[in-house]
Amino acid sequence: MPETGRPSERTLSDLLREGTAALGSSPSPALEAKVLLLKAARLSEEEFFRAPSTPASKRVETDFRCLLGRRLAGVPIAYITGEKEFWSLKLAVAPSVLIPRPETEVLVEKVLELARRDGEFILDVGTGSGNLAVALAKEMPRSTVYAVDVSLRALKVARSNALRHRLRNIVFARSDLFSAFRGRGLKFDFIVSNPPYVARGEWEELPEEIRRYEPRRALLAGESGLEVIERLVRRSRFFLKPGGYLVLEIGDGQRDRVLELFDGRWREIETAWDLAGRARVITARRA
């Protein structure tokens, strides 16, 4: 068990109780305290539960309180641990990318529902941590996923996640939406995106934890919140194969306005809802 340094008088269980009490205002204080303790002690969950009464070393106690202090200051837990699970895959995250949310898994589900899984070409626009690209590449090993982002720092994180999961069917490129593909003649079976969709007037309504720590450029779209979505709808048809699909995540209350962006050049326009009953994903097929 990777305990190092002179033992303190505190056990791992003592530290867990201390952290849970300190994080009492968190939605999940016990869970967050456990995650931070496991990181500080460099233990797996199984190792901890086999020996919760193990004396904590001074190093573990110091590191745990440091991590606890960062969480109490409002730093998202995923940025503290450097990891977030998405589609049952552990992914590296950093402040240069959005933290993947469970509701975005609806987008993956929709693509898998529509795909033949037989050599499709998929474009993930604004890949961020690469969560969509990695999940789709993992589920569709015979397909090729192109993952693009305007941020080089985001692409570095996304590449690390592809390497972590030993995926060789992802191609990364820096691109402002479709800029990297102009004039190349490359057409896709699917274009997927979780784009910025927060309106400027909604920014201050977001939780402080999001506003202070997550990348503003990946969240804020403009005055209406539809600026990036509108560009995706308008321009994606030039990069889709006939019959190809555009699959977009949208924000709360945006469904009707997003549907109005599609004209007669699109068909099979459908909505998928997340587990909370919110309209979360719009799919449309190029006519």
Q: What is the CATH number of the domain that holds 156?
A: 3.40.50.150
CA–CA dist 118, 190 (Å, integer) = 13
Question: Do 47 and 126 reside in the same domain of the chain?
Answer: no
Alpha-carbon distances of 22 from 58, 78, 89, rounded to whole Å: 19, 18, 29
DSSP H/E element including 138: helix 131-139
Question: Do 14 and 48 reside in the same domain of the chain?
Answer: yes
Question: Do 51 and 107 reside in the same domain of the chain?
Answer: no
Residue 17, token pair as written in the block: 């109780």
pLDDT of residue 1: 47
Question: Do 231 and 192 reside in the same domain of the chain?
Answer: yes
Question: Do 11 and 152 reside in the same domain of the chain?
Answer: no
Range of the domain at 50: 7-73
Question: Do 19 and 152 reside in the same domain of the chain?
Answer: no
Domain count, the chain: 2
pLDDT band at 4 (very low <50, low <70, confident <90, very high): very low
**Of 154, 141, 47, nearest in space to 93 by CA:** 154
Residue at 1 is within a domain: no
Residue at 88 is within a domain: no
**235: pLDDT strictly greater than 60:** yes
**36: pLDDT strictly greater than 70:** yes
DSSP H/E element including 222: strand 220-222
pLDDT per residue as tens digits for the range 44-80: 989 888 888 888 899 999 999 999 999 999 999 999 9
Question: Do 248 and 142 reside in the same domain of the chain?
Answer: yes
| Least reliable range by pLDDT among 4-13, 47-56, 143-152, 252-261 | 4-13
Check if the beta carbon of residue 243 is closer than 8 Å to that of residue 286.
yes
Question: Do 58 and 194 reside in the same domain of the chain?
Answer: no
